[in-house]
Amino acid sequence: MVQRLPAHLDASFSALSDATRRGVLEQLGRADASISDLAEKFHMTLTGMKKHVGVLERAGLVSTEKVGRVRTCKLGPGRLEDETVWIERYRRLWASRFDELDAVVEELKKKETVNANKQRE
């Protein structure tokens, strides 16, 4: 059964799937920046950076404001809370499965040790 994520989670994870966009978020976490500054920092064209910022903006991770000819970007209202909850649920699931696997491996090691001791006798 395929479970679909809510649309806002899809948008966030899609936006975060690109290294440049993650870098833009890191940069904006330090200070607001214009699209021109971001394009220069990431060695991209203005058009390319506008597309990346647009994806982040649609996901609610970045907001922009145009003052005169300069469009300034800053971290948006999306705080990744729902995304964190989703990731944490699966982190706990995997941790539980690995704990169970560890228990199985330990049991197999014990049996192996017992069998090895019996063969020596």
- Pair 39, 69 in one domain: yes
Query: Residue 2 domain-assigned?
Result: no
In what helix (H) or strand (E) does residue 55 lie, and over which residues does it extend? helix 46-58
What is the pLDDT averaged over residues 23-32? 97
pLDDT digits (tens, 9 = 90+) for 41-86: 999 999 999 999 999 999 999 999 999 999 999 999 888 898 999 9
- Pair 55, 92 in one domain: no
- Pair 100, 64 in one domain: no
Considering only 11-20, 46-55, 98-107, which range has the smallest mean pLDDT? 98-107
- Pair 84, 71 in one domain: no
Identify the pLDDT of residue 111.
84
Angle at which helices 7-16 and 19-30 cross, to 10°: 90
